[in-house]
Chain A
Amino acid sequence: MARRQRIFARAAVIAALLLVRSTSADVLPDDRADLFYSKYSGGGMDITGESATVRKKFTENIAVEANYFIDKVSGASIDVLSQASVIKDTRKQKTGTIEYLHDKTTYTASYISSTERDYVSNTASFSLSQDMFGDLTTVSLGYAKTNDRVGENNGTAWVPIIDWLGYAQTSSYTGGISQIITKNFIAGLNLQVITDSGYLANPYRSVRYLDSSNPKGYSLASQVYPDTHTSTAIQVQGKYYLPYRAAVTASYRYYTDTWGVVGNTVELDYTHPIRNLWILEGRARYYKQGAATFYSDLFPFANAQNFEARDQNLAALDNYTLGAKATYAFLPDGWKFFKRATVTLDISRIRFNYTDFRNIKYYGVPQYPPGTEPLYYFNATVSQIYISMFF
C-alpha cells in the first residue's frame, strides 16, 4: 500500500486548504455534514471508500471539522498478478481541522492519522489565506509535514505477515493566488514543492531483467529507489462566467521532479445549473508524462544500475478522463434545522495507456519473447455519491 496513504494525506491537506480558499477570508463557511461513498474499479482493483464529515462553527471566528474515511481494497493490479498474491486491505483515516478567522485572514491547522496493516502515516499541516487589494486577490500559503512507516505484507491477504521496511518523511510547501480579473472572470495560480526522504519505493512492485536461466526469459527483483525526491508543480487556471448562467473552467499544470519525470495536464470543465435545483457538470482531462531516468520495463541483466524501477507510475504514459456530475438540491428551502441539503452523483471514466510498460500478466512462455509483450493499458471507472446537509 506504499505511497497510497502518503498521497491520501496530501490530498486531505489540499482539501483543507481548498476549503479555506473557496470561502474568501471574510467569513467562515456554513456548518455542514457530509456522507460520502465512492467506488473505483479498474486495472484489476476494486476499492470502496466511505466517509463522514462534520463541520461546526463555534463562534463567527472559529470552526472545527472532523472527518473519518475508510477504504477497502480488494483484487490485484498487473504488478501483483505478475509476482504475488491478491490484495485485501482496509485503510482508516481520521482528520481533525481547526480554522480561525481574524480580519481578512483565515488560519487553518489540521492533523491526519492514517493506518493500514502495512502502512502508518501521520500528517500535520498549517495554512493561511489572506484577502487583499480590495478583496480582488486571495493569497494562500501552506506547509505540511508527514511521517510514514512503510511495511510489506509477506503473508497472505488473509494471514498477513508484516515486515517493516523503513520510514519516509515528506514536507510539502504550497502557495496560491486567486485573482479577480473582471466581473465574469477569475484566474488562479498554484505552486507546490514537495520533498521526500527515506524509503520511497513501492515494495509490491518489482523490476525485471533478462535471465536465460528462467523459462520465461526474465526474472524479477526488488526495486531500488533513491532515498530523496523533490517535485515542483505549477498550475494556472481560469474560470469564466458565460453570458447565460453557466461557467467554464480551463487549467494547465506543469510538473517536474528530481527523478526525471515531466508531466503535463490540461483540463476543461463546464458547469450548468438548472434553476436552483440542479447543477450539472461535465469535464475532460488529458495527462501525459515521460519516464523517470532510472525506469526500465526490462533491464539487460541483474543489478544493471544503482537505481532501478519498474513502477508503472514512473513509466511513460498518458491517460484521458471524461466525467459527469449532477447535484440535486432536495431540500432547497430547508427542513427543521437544516438550511438546505444536496445529493451529488459523480462518475468518471479513465483510460490509461502505457508506452513503455508491458503487460506480462498473461504472457512470457513462450508466446512473446521478453520485451515484446503487448503494451499495458486499462480502463477505470470512478463513481461517487454523497449527501451534503447544511445547517
Chain B
Amino acid sequence: MRCQPLLALSAVLLLSACNIQPWVKPYERDRLADPIMAWDRDAISGAYLDHIRESREGSRGATGGAGGGCGCN
C-alpha cells in the first residue's frame, strides 16, 4: 500500500516525460558538442588512471571514467 503513491507519481512522471519539449534546442548544443565537453575524451587513458587508484584505495566504481595498471604486490 505504501508503494501506491510512489507508483502513481512514477506513472505521472513517465507520462509527462513523453511530452517534454527539449529546453535546449538542437541548434543550441554546439558548445555541448565541443570535444572539450566530453565526460572522458580518452577512455583507455581514463581507465588506466582509475585502475591505479583502485589498486591503492579501498574505494572502487562509479567513477564515470576508469583507469589501470599499478601493482598491488
Please give the residue numbers on chain A whose beta carbons come within 8 Å of chain B beta carbons, in ascending order: 1-4, 7-8, 10-16, 18-19, 21-22, 34, 36, 38, 40, 45, 47, 49, 51, 53, 67, 71, 73, 75-77, 79-80, 87, 89, 132-136, 172, 174, 176, 178, 180, 182-184, 186, 188, 190-194, 202, 204-205, 231, 233-235, 237, 239, 241, 245-247, 251, 253, 255, 257, 259, 261, 263, 265, 271-273, 279, 287, 289, 292, 312-314, 317, 319, 327, 344, 346, 348, 350, 352, 380, 382, 384, 386, 388
Picked from A22, A47, A241, the residue with its CB within 8 Å of the CB of B32 is: A241
Contacts of A235 in B (CB 8 A): 62-64
Q: Chain B: interface secondary structure?
A: loop
Contacts of A245 in B (CB 8 A): 34, 36
**Interface contact B22-A135, CB-CB below 8 Å:** yes
B residues 20-73 near A (Cβ < 8 Å) are 20-24, 26, 28-29, 31-32, 34-73
A204 to B71, CA, bound (A): 11
Given contacts A19-B43, A194-B60, A348-B49, contact A71 B20 (CB under 8 A): no
In the complex, what residues of A have CB within 8 A of residue B55's CB? 3-4, 7, 313
The one of B39, B66, B67, B71 in contact with A188, judged by C-beta atoms closer than 8 angstroms, is: B39
Of chain A, the residue at the smallest CB distance from B69 is A49
Partner of B54, one of A7, A34, A292: A7
Q: Report if A7-B63 is in contact (Cβ < 8 Å); known contacts: A22-B43, A180-B29, A279-B36.
A: no
Give the complex CA separation of A382 and B39 in angstroms: 21
16 A–B contacts from the bound complex (CB under 8 Å): A4-B72, A11-B50, A15-B66, A18-B46, A45-B70, A51-B44, A53-B44, A73-B71, A87-B71, A133-B22, A135-B26, A180-B24, A184-B31, A247-B34, A352-B56, A388-B42
Closest to B31 in A: A241
Is there an interface contact between B31 and A176, defined as CB atoms closer than 8 Å? no
Within 8 Å CB of A233, what residues of B?
A: 59-63
Q: List the B side residues contacting A8 at CB < 8 Å.
A: 51, 68-69
Q: Could you tell me if A314 and B58 are in contact, using CB atoms closer than 8 angstroms?
A: yes
- When distances are taken between beta carbons in the complex, the residues of chain B under 8 Å from A271 are 36
Q: A12-B68, A136-B24, A279-B36 are in contact. Are A183 and B31 (CB under 8 A)?
A: yes
How close is B23's CB to chain A, nearest CB, in angstroms?
A: 7
A282 to B71, CA, bound (A): 25
Contact A47 B62 (CB under 8 A): no
B47 touches A12 (CB 8 A): yes
Q: Does B3 contact A (CB under 8 A)?
A: no
Most chain B CB atoms below 10 A, which of A15, A184, A327:
A15
Given the complex, which residues of A lie within 8 Å of B44, measured CB to CB? 15, 34, 36, 51, 53, 67, 386
Contact of B29 among A183, A205, A313, A382 (CB under 8 A): A183
Question: In the complex the two chains form, what is the Cα distance from A207 to B45 in whole Å?
Answer: 34
Alpha-carbon distance A172/B66, docked complex (angstroms): 14
Shortest distance in angstroms between A275's beta carbon and chain B's nearest beta carbon?
13
Contacts A246-B36, A261-B59 given; does A36 touch B69 at CB 8 Å: no
